[in-house]
Amino acid sequence: MDTVLVELKKNRIIERIWSKDYTVWKPDPAEISNRLGWLESPLNMNEDINRIEQLAGELRAEGFTHALLLGMGGSSLAPEVLRKTFGVSKGYLDLAVFDSTDPAYVLYHTKRLDPEKTLFVVSSKSGTTVETISFFKYFYSLVWDVLGDHTGKHFVAITDPGSSLADLADRHSFRATFLNDPNIGGRYSALSYFGLLPAMLTGMDAGKLLARSMDILKCCRNSDHDNMGLSLGAIMGSLAMAGRDKLTLIIRPEISSFGNWLEQLIAESTGKKGRGILPVTGEPAGSPDMYGNDRFFIFLNLEGEGAYEPALKALEDAGHPVIDIHLKDLYDLGGQFFLWEMATAVAGHILQINPFDQPDVEASKKLSRRMVDEYVKKGTLPTETSTLCYGGITVYGGPKARTPGKVLTAFMEQATPDSYVALQAYIQPTDKMDDALKKLRVRIRNRYKLATSVGYGPRYLHSTGQLHKGDAGKGLFIQFTADDVRDVSIPDNLESATSSMSFGVLKMVQAMGDRQALLNAGRQVVRFHLGQDISGGIKHLTEALVR
């Protein structure tokens, strides 16, 4: 690793990044020169805090109690981290992030919110994200039925200048529109309007968070070996090139949601051109003998907390690379956002990829759009041929076997020591589902010594979806779908009650589209349709993976 650092210093990588030299990554400036605004974002956002504070004050004075963020990926993950980490200050708005097309999830939020006391934050860089626009149509129509001409006062937009969302906000008299720096990519936008505005509605001290980010920013300007971003990036990149490409994060519970933001940043930035770093987050810690030689570990700890020290030492003694990062308190997350952005940019240089584009994300989107068009014309989804129906579970793809459990066991036999397993759940995100999927991933890890990831669809498409199709093809993909007890219509437009699409159909189209995109990329995929007994189906599959 020291050799890598010497080479980075010799080639003046840090100086060139700060001078926005696109040749650090590629000879072509496309999707690089216009993606480096994150370097100044902590400084620039300090000038915009007063406007956000004014908005928060107005909302509190008018009796607003809740906020719902409608967004996906880079527009939603940082606000979710900050809400889960800092909670809600007394008298401020309770924020929730809405990023699922599951009908039960839509109905849950519909029932719990009072439209008269809720602010809807529509957040999209491009303004064309299909999920976000569908969310907007649904909730705008819902609020219109209650408030009529006053509906616009319950909506705020965060987007790029000139986007279709900016135009939409103007046409429908949104309370406010916040135009972000267009030179900031979605996953690098935590310290911009996209991350900070929603969090400030909850009473988080953005000035303090930005001050901590500035401390790390100054450190990351150093051209020597004391540059934390340079060192971390060198470790990430060099270990990945050496075959340890499963970055396993073990994070204190108080800041555990930070792993979800890191997952998108690393996976979508590095998973391309046949290379990638798989971020493993949320996987419970195990003993050293449960891990393969493709892992390296990073502990994110809070100052004074030594709970992980025995586990850390055990992993080190077993020969695994381990990094221990300590945060003084929760507000040090501001510095962590910037640190990991810089480290990921440096790792991209080592991997010889562009960390700011996402060329393979569009694959599943195109297939899904084609299926949507077909559904609108014909009123039916494309036909898929099942390979097994047994015990209420229908299987699509994978090896032939007599039961779904045996299908899964045979599917897992295709794994190699450097494989990983991605569980993709197109079902309602709940604590019960979290627990069921966690038991399955632990069983997989303990039996096969493989890294695992869990993603709810379509959320994961905006997070790890790029890595799944752009890396070296090491993934085994297990999809879960289920019957929707009730469906929810998506209005065709805001002026009409007609609907040619539902959230249930959109969710299924996204699952089918991504499965086909993975197959087209030569990946191994199996889908289990669990009917109405979702927990029972996952339990059956988990119990099938016995030693």
Side by side, the strands of the sheet bearing 278-280 are 278-280, 246-251, 295-302, 322-327
Report pTM: 0.96
Condensed to tens digits (0 to 9), the pLDDT of residues 440-475 reads: 999 999 999 999 999 999 999 999 999 999 999 999
Q: Please, are residues 294 and 245 in contact by the beta-carbon 8 Å criterion?
A: yes
**H or E element: which one contains 70?**
strand 66-70
Q: What pLDDT does 207 receive?
A: 97
CATH entry 3.40.50.10490 includes domain 361-544: yes
Given this structure, which CATH class describes domain 39-204?
alpha beta
Domains in the chain: boundaries: 2-23+211-351, 39-204, 361-544
Q: Please, are residues 421 and 475 in contact by the beta-carbon 8 Å criterion?
A: yes
Preceding peptide of 458 cis, ω within 30°: yes
Q: What pLDDT does 411 receive?
A: 98
Going from the first residue of the chain to its last (547 residues), give the mean pLDDT of each consecutive group of 10, the final group possibly shorter.
Answer: 88 97 97 97 93 97 98 96 98 97 97 97 95 96 94 98 97 97 97 98 98 97 87 97 97 96 98 96 92 96 75 90 95 98 98 95 83 86 93 96 97 96 97 97 96 96 95 97 96 84 95 95 97 95 88
Q: What pLDDT does 366 receive?
A: 84
**Are 2-23+211-351 and 361-544 in the same CATH fold?**
yes
Condensed to tens digits (0 to 9), the pLDDT of residues 177-192 reads: 999 999 999 999 999 9
Q: Where would I find the H helices in 148-244?
A: 164-171, 193-201, 206-219, 228-241
CATH entry 3.40.50.10330 includes domain 2-23+211-351: no
Q: Please, are residues 187 and 73 in contact by the beta-carbon 8 Å criterion?
A: yes
For the chain, give the mean pLDDT: 95
